[in-house]
Amino acid sequence: MRRTIFALLVTFVFLVSPILIVDGHAKFPNRPVTLVLPVGAGGSHDLHARGITGIMSDIIGQPMIVKLLPGGAGMRGHAFVANAKPDGYTILFTANGFDQLVPQTRKVPFNSLKDFTAIAKLNHAQPLFVSLSNRPWKTLKQFVAYAKKNPGKINFGHSGVWGAIHTPAMQFVKAAGIKVNFIPHKGGGPALRALLSGQDHISMAMPTSGRAHVRSGKMIALGVTGNKRMSKDKDFKNVPTAAELGYKGVSFKMERIFMAHAKTPPERLKVLRDAFETILKNKSFKKFMRSIGEKVQFVKGTDYNKVRKERYDGFTQLIKAMTGK
Amino acid sequence: MLETFIQGMHLLLRWDIYFFIAAGLCIGMFVGAMPGLTTILALSVLLPVSFKLEPVLGIPFLVGLFKGGIYGGSIPAILVGIPGTAASIATTFEGPALTRKGHGRKALEMALFSSVSGDLISDIFTILLIGPIAIITLMIGPPEIFAIIFFSLVLIASISGDSGLKGAIAALIGLGLGFIGTDAATGSTRMTFGFMSLSAGIPLIPLVIGIFALPEILLAVESRAPRFVSQFIGYSNTGEKLRWKEFKSSIKTILRSTGIGTGIGMVPGVGQVVAAFVGYSAAKRASTHPETFGEGELDGIAAPEAANNAVNGPTMVPLLTLGIPGDTATAILLGAFVAHGMRPGPLIFQEQGPLLYAILMSMVIANILFVFLGYVLLKPFAIAIQIKKSYLIPIILALAFVGTLSTGDNSDLIIMLVVGFFAYILRKLNFDLAPLIIAFVLAEPVEYTLSQTMLYAKGSILQYIFVTRPISSAFLLSALIWILYRAMRSFSRKRT
């Protein structure tokens, strides 16, 4: 008798379990979550993602899988998430430029502001203006004076049109009223290489990638974007901001953000947002971020959503000013 | 320096390093042997594993994975003519022909020994000359890259002269396919016909599978090939071992290819695929019997295999001395370094000297281990393929589909099928598809470096190149002289 009851019970569980899985009210997530990156392997986003997804799996109880969809200036990955089922199982790890700027410069099959909502902002990087230390200028002011005397002769290397170097560089060129020769490179690495080889006169670098070269004395940091100095950074705390030097509007920072489809059910969105708050307290997460030399400057998704529209409009102005469109 | 080096060697005195290198080599070889699964994919999936290990274990593990992967790609290239990775495309020129002749085993062993030799020599060269190489890599800017690619193209074209007009058409198709996607200089999308999935360009892996794997099976099905259905390509009848005499006669080729590969490794953004093609072309040019190339020539296996592996040493240099990765694989390695708190760059030799030398030496060790490991592993790999070709090819094809899906975008599968269909038609029309691939691979860097060069030149391009860029002008001039020389010779031959 007992065995029969047991058998019945087992059968029942087997019959019901698929229903439980299909049931939308079952605990979210009950299968792996895909984290889409609109960039290729090996960059800083990829590195962050590899460390975070490993820890995140313990928090949400399901694996989080990295999916790299590079190309089309990030828009391929964004379009993929915009077209995916808005069930919270496909989320995006991207940068503010791809979210608020690039979609305005080309035809894309989604509306950034309407189709996406923020889960969390993890951190940001302030690009630094850098030059070789043997150039005739030692400060940003001197550079501007030199550039004014030699219009169009300065090679300004960047990592790609409307990327994390080109955008603040455009803001700077506009604010300083100078004319430079912009040279595109395939990413931040090649741009840094062109600067170090003396091919480009000036460029910008993120603190993590520029640090060793500034420490070795080969490169100098002339200024930093944003209106706050990097006061906690022992190598760059004395680097003046562009705003201090009188170049207004050179504000671009590269922000690493997690986004979801705007139509994701609110209770699932909450699970995801909570997970990213929980991870902040995780020991392995803290250790990982320390070892890769990145800070955590967390902003809640709901708070980040509030600034997106304003930023978006700011970029609209910049694009209009620089391209006349 | 010697002292740091010796300290580094001390770090290598533990058995688990060898275990992790060997594990990496085996996994890499397996992944490389699966068409569609790329070493890059394996590297990025297994990167977190290396986070959890000590740096002196984790990074050599990834190094082993990478090295094993490049060799693994040549196994299916030799046995069934389907390259496992893009780096082994040039190996398909001779590999299947040798297998058909019953020399499959010889070819596999030649590939192993030439891969290892090329890699080993280039690694040692890199460790000894890391400083000078770093200076040379910095001297190579866009105008130089453009000139070097142009020179390589002339060399590659000069050996495929007999494919004539059809070869040129195939190259033009490849060039056209290469231009699809995002114009890197302006950032605008082009020729995508509104398909978002094309905005990143046609991905290389689905293209390679489409071109090599699909026509192979379609042609076989169409001919209802009785030979195909019953043919075994097992290890038992892949023939005898490689003889020392045969290896010896290819040493010259291996050394030449190693030189070519090492040189190309110093050029950012060109890489293994091109090195393999150039190595093969140079071997055919230098051969006393170029007419036997294409019909199963062991020299034609040694050449691309040594060249594509020799790229690995110098590509580590910009990564280590500048902290700038030259390609995706080294970018992932950079991630591994960074996650272990090591920031490659100008100061790394002062800050982490012993550890760095230990890691560099682990590259050498990986090669030595691989000679034995590869030799033993060839057998199970070949046995796994020891089934009827009529079963084997569909299995490989299924794996290729899975591999293509592993990139994450389902549209890659559609790209693969469309490409495969057209490649089948071209093959039916007796087109040689090698020029298509090489033109496709080089389309983007050629266009990109040319447009960068024009931006640097600010309007006066000839003056810029020939006055201020001596390396670039040397390569361009030699390419032009070569073209003229060949043209005059063929002209005078026609008249007599």
Q: Is A109 on the interface with B (CB under 8 A)?
A: yes
Length of chain A, please?
325
* Inter-chain residue contact A208 with B455, CB threshold 8 Å: no
Select the more confidently predicted residue: B359 or B400.
B359
Distance CA B202, CA B192 (A): 10
Distance CA B448, CA B444 (A): 6
Tokens in use for B218? 């379609």
Work out the minimum CA distance from A203 to partner chain B, whole angstroms: 14
* Inter-chain residue contact B345 with A211, CB threshold 8 Å: yes
Tens of pLDDT, residue by residue over B90-136, are: 999 998 888 878 788 889 999 999 999 999 999 999 999 998 999 99
Q: Which of A32-36, B274-278, B398-402, B434-438 has the lowest mean pLDDT?
A: B398-402
Q: Region A300-314: what's the mean pLDDT?
A: 95
Q: Are B382 and B104 in contact (CB under 8 A)?
A: yes
Q: Return the pLDDT at B433.
A: 86
The most confident of the ranges A19-23, A138-142, B171-175, B443-447 is A138-142
Q: Return the pLDDT at B86.
A: 85
Q: Return the pLDDT at A293.
A: 86
This prediction has a pTM of 0.88
Q: Provide the domain limits for residue B153.
A: 2-495
Q: Is A286 on the interface with B (CB under 8 A)?
A: no
% of residues, chain A, pLDDT over 90: 70
Does B389 score more than 80 pLDDT? no
Q: Is B49 on the interface with A (CB under 8 A)?
A: no
Q: Which of A77-91, A284-298, B397-411 has the lowest mean pLDDT?
A: B397-411
Q: Region B7-16: what's the mean pLDDT?
A: 88
C-alpha distances out from residue B433 to A83, B70, B439, Å:
35, 22, 10
Question: Chain B residue closest to A51 (CA)?
Answer: B48
Task: Tell me how far the alpha carbon of residue A57 is from its chain's centroid.
Answer: 21
Q: Mutating which of A35, A46, A47 best tests the B interface, going by the most B Cβ atoms within 10 A?
A: A47
Q: Is B492 on the interface with A (CB under 8 A)?
A: no
Does A286 score more than 50 pLDDT? yes
Q: In which band, very low, low, confident or very high, does the pLDDT at B8 lie, cut at 50, 70 and 90?
A: confident
* Inter-chain residue contact B408 with A67, CB threshold 8 Å: yes
Q: Return the pLDDT at A18.
A: 47
Strand-pair partners of A36? A67, A92
Q: Is A63 on the interface with B (CB under 8 A)?
A: no
Q: Return the pLDDT at B224.
A: 62
Distance CA B316, CA B1 (A): 19
Distance CA A281, CA B41 (A): 30
> Domains in chain A and their CATH numbers?
31-124+253-323 (3.40.190.150), 128-224 (3.40.190.10)
Q: If you average pLDDT over every residue of chain B, what do you get?
A: 86
Q: Region B410-414: what's the mean pLDDT?
A: 85
Tens of pLDDT, residue by residue over B25-62, are: 999 998 888 877 888 888 988 988 888 888 889 999 99
- Number of structural domains, chain B? 1
Q: Return the pLDDT at A19.
A: 46
Q: Return the pLDDT at A186.
A: 86
% of residues, chain B, pLDDT over 70: 92
Q: Is B331 on the interface with A (CB under 8 A)?
A: yes
Tens of pLDDT, residue by residue over B308-365, are: 999 999 999 999 998 888 888 888 899 889 888 888 888 888 888 888 889 889 999 9
Cα dihedral B85, B339, B138, B446 in deg (nearest 10): 30
Q: If you average pLDDT over every residue of chain A, what do you get?
A: 90
Q: Is B322 on the interface with A (CB under 8 A)?
A: yes
Query: Which among A47, A190, A197 has the least Cβ separation from residue B339?
Result: A47
ipTM, two decimals, is 0.88
Distance CA B137, CA B263 (A): 10
Given CA atoms B63, B66, B69, B74 in this order, what sign does their dihedral have?
Answer: negative
Distance CA A160, CA B99 (A): 46
DSSP string, B208-232: HHHHHHHHHHHHHHHHT-HHHHH-B
Residues whose CB is less than 8 angstroms from the CB of residue B27 and which lie 6 or more positions away in sequence, other chains included? B42, B46, B65, B68
| Omega of the bond leading into B470 within 30 degrees of 0 (cis) | no
Q: Region B287-295: what's the mean pLDDT?
A: 88
* Inter-chain residue contact A160 with B43, CB threshold 8 Å: no
Does A272 score more than 80 pLDDT? yes
Helix (H) or strand (E) holding B127, with range, is helix B104-128
Q: Return the pLDDT at B166.
A: 85
Work out the minimum CA distance from B118 to partner chain A, whole angstroms: 26
3 state DSSP class of A227: coil
Question: Chain A residue closest to B141 (CA)?
Answer: A194
Tens of pLDDT, residue by residue over A68-110, are: 888 888 898 999 999 899 999 999 999 999 999 999 998 888 9
Does A317 score more than 60 pLDDT? yes
Residues 167-226 of B with CB under 8 A from A: 181-182, 184-189, 196-197, 199-201
Nearest to B374 by CA among B244, B251, B246, B242: B242
Burial class of B243 by CB neighbour count within 10 A (0 to 12, 13 to 18, 19+): exposed
